[in-house]
Amino acid sequence: MGTQITRRSFLARTIGLAGLSIMGHGCQLPEKNPADQPNIVLIMADDLGYGDVGCYGCKDIRTPAIDGLAAEGVRFTTFYSNAPECTPTRTALMTGRYQHRVGGLECALGIGNVGRYDDAIRLRETHDMGLPAGETSIARMLKNAGYATAICGKWHLGYERKFFPDKHGFDYWFGPVGGAVDYFHHDEYTGEPSLYRNSKVIEQEGYLTDLITDEAVKFLGRQSDRPFCLYVPYTSPHTPYLGPNDKRPQSVPQEDYNKGTRETYRAMVERMDEGIARILAALDQRKLAANTLVIFMSDNGANKTGNNAPFSGYKGNLFEGGIRVPCIAKWPGRIPEGVVSDQSCMTMDFSRSVVRAAGARPPRGRTFDGIDIVRHVENQEPTQKRTLFWRARRGERTRKAVRDGDLKYIQLWDGPKMNEYLFDLKGDPAEKNNLLAARDSDAERLKALLADWEQQVKHHR
């Protein structure tokens, strides 16, 4: 049977040893010094696979801008999204905590504001399905520290106005409020217009990826004497599969949303990379790059049109291909150039890093669940063993997983039926060899960790 776990050892594994000193005391961050506050540019791709970027081994998609970030900063090889879908990962990014602490956000919000599992359905019935403003976002924390804040891109954290970005500390926002819109007509397949500027629906001609880039560049052009945080969550290469030259007379119907070729996918990713190049060029032109922390990541793995190699699995599941994704960070003078880090880390780790780097503070009594991964790289610290957790729900399906060191345990529930897996990722990163029968004691130990974590992150909404 599994080994006995004390609360202290559990917390050490869950949040990283670096977090133990702050438990129970709030995050003791350094005093703010405006002269030292870096600008923050956080770029998120949507459904981009691990193997869809040049510096991660992709051969058929050109990504020179993203590859350039890796050459000038750090490329993470063991970075995980907090979830295998959009909404929960974005919840974790905004809060710096496991998304399960909020309630109703363990699954992507359905098109047209549909709840997809029991807790989400319950909250939808009372118009409470979304990220509450009381779950203080990193944008709010940075705004309170004197930052100008903006989101140019996909929100997907609530269709109700009380969940909109301006309620979470963003001074300016532009983009679709939902999870998937036509790239040219900017509506969902229900016909509902989805493109917003500062809480108002707008009509604007253009390819959505380009419009997001345009707005990000314009925001940079308006900055002068204040540090800023610019969040750029592209919708590319999320469905519907439409390249920059694929405009149709009418919006893509629901039945065609998931139809697309690798060639179209390639065009979508390359256009996003061109947009990232424009954002980086704008930083250079305004002489802002030297004091800007740039972070690039994907919100989850790719669908089958994408490439999650060398891992198995796709978006929506908890095999490596669904959650192990590209992530790169560049911070001139602070992060060494050309670093490759195999430190295991998650989306929410960067939330803590951004808040610390900005000299901002979380609310009293609030603690982050992640480690400060940027500081880890800045200080060139050795790789530390960590324990990471996942739980994803949709309908009657529940997927659970825990990674402890190199071992990973997975539970797949379909109603009352459950399948289990145990993998040693060091020798089997593609998860081909299920060790469950041969190492039952390890499985029981990880199962106990998972059950303990579920109690720790249980929400009360």
The tokens for 426 are: 């060091």
Catalytic residue among 58, 86, 107, 345: 86
DSSP assignments along 175-231, one per residue: EESSS---TTT-B-TTS-B-EEETTEE----S-HHHHHHHHHHHHHHT--SS-EEEE
Distance CA 3, CA 48 (A): 38
Residue 79: count other Cβ atoms within 10 Å of its Cβ: 26
Supply the Cα-derived Rg of the chain in whole angstroms: 21
Distance CA 173, CA 94 (A): 15
Distance CA 348, CA 184 (A): 32
Catalytic residue among 27, 58, 107, 156: 156
Amino acid at 391: R
Q: Report the relative pairing of strands 397-404 and 387-394 from DSSP bridges.
A: antiparallel
In total, the chain counts a number of residues equal to 461
The tokens for 212 are: 């997001």
Amino acid at 44: M
Distance CA 239, CA 180 (A): 7
Burial class (CB in 10 A: 0-12, 13-18, 19+), 150: buried
Q: Are 296 and 276 in contact (CB under 8 A)?
A: yes
**Phi, psi dihedrals of residue 374, rounded to the nearest 5°:** -65, -45
**Element (DSSP H or E) covering residue 345:** strand 345-346
The tokens for 102 are: 């909020």
Contacts of 299 (CB under 8 A, 6+ apart): 44, 45, 46, 47, 81, 85, 86, 89, 90, 233, 325, 347
**Residue written as tokens 């399960």?**
100
The tokens for 78 are: 């063991």
Residue 86 annotated among the catalytic residues of the structure: yes
Which positions are annotated as active-site residues?
86, 156
